[in-house]
Amino acid sequence: MRAGAFVGLCFCLTFAGIGGDAQTPDRKDQPVWTLEFVQAKPEMLGLALSYLDKHWMRERAEAKRLGAVVAYHRIREALQMTPNGKAGDQNSIVLLTEYRNFAAYSARENLYAKINAGLPAGTAGVIEMPREELFWILETRLFVESPDESSSGLKLLAQR
């Protein structure tokens, strides 16, 4: 239920951030964010997190060094234990990436391919498994910043 409400909120925020008018400044240089909702397969959480460390986190770290990515976070849902039971799904992961602008977001696939080509192929002691065996990507969303109300272009010239 809460996951559905969260996805619904994200859906609404997507449309709130896309609108614009003649007084809205050009947004081509504003940051954009992606949210990827990931579900680790049963008994695969540890391996899924290791995979994300080796691939997703390293790609984002290098993209940040190159200036395409501003920030990135891998967030797990907290499992809350209460006297009446437990809430949350410990296998639920959200991957958040803030790109410098829409152009950086649009070029991400080529950038990550170049980054992966330059990374070492294997890591000693790490079990290599295909991503498809470790987790599902449930949904990916793209967000833009909603303009601040004070930047509407209107200016108070006089007051009585």
Tell me 30's DSSP state. S
- Model confidence over 23-68: pLDDT tens digits? 445 567 889 999 999 999 999 999 999 899 988 999 999 999 999 9
**Is 65 domain-assigned?**
yes
**Is 159 domain-assigned?**
no
* pLDDT for the residue 87: 75
Find the mean pLDDT for residues 136-147. 86
pTM of the prediction? Answer: 0.69
The better pLDDT of the pair 39, 119 is held by 39
pLDDT beyond 90 at 146: no
How far does the chain reach from its first CA to its final CA, in angstroms? 51
Q: How many CA atoms lie within 13 A of 12 on its CB side?
A: 6
Show the domain range for 33. 29-145
**Is 123 domain-assigned?**
yes
* Secondary structure percentages of the chain, helix, strand, coil, to 5: 40, 25, 35
**Is 21 domain-assigned?**
no
Asked whether the beta carbons of 99 and 34 are under 8 A apart, the reply is yes
**Is 55 domain-assigned?**
yes
**Is 155 domain-assigned?**
no
**Is 138 domain-assigned?**
yes
Q: Number of structural domains, the chain?
A: 1
Q: How far apart are CA 138 and CA 43, in angstroms?
A: 18
pLDDT beyond 80 at 92: yes
CATH number, domain with residue 134: 3.30.70.100
Find the mean pLDDT for residues 148-158. 49
pLDDT beyond 70 at 130: yes
User: How much is the mean pLDDT over the chain?
Assistant: 78
Percent with pLDDT over 70 in the chain: 68
**Is 90 domain-assigned?**
yes
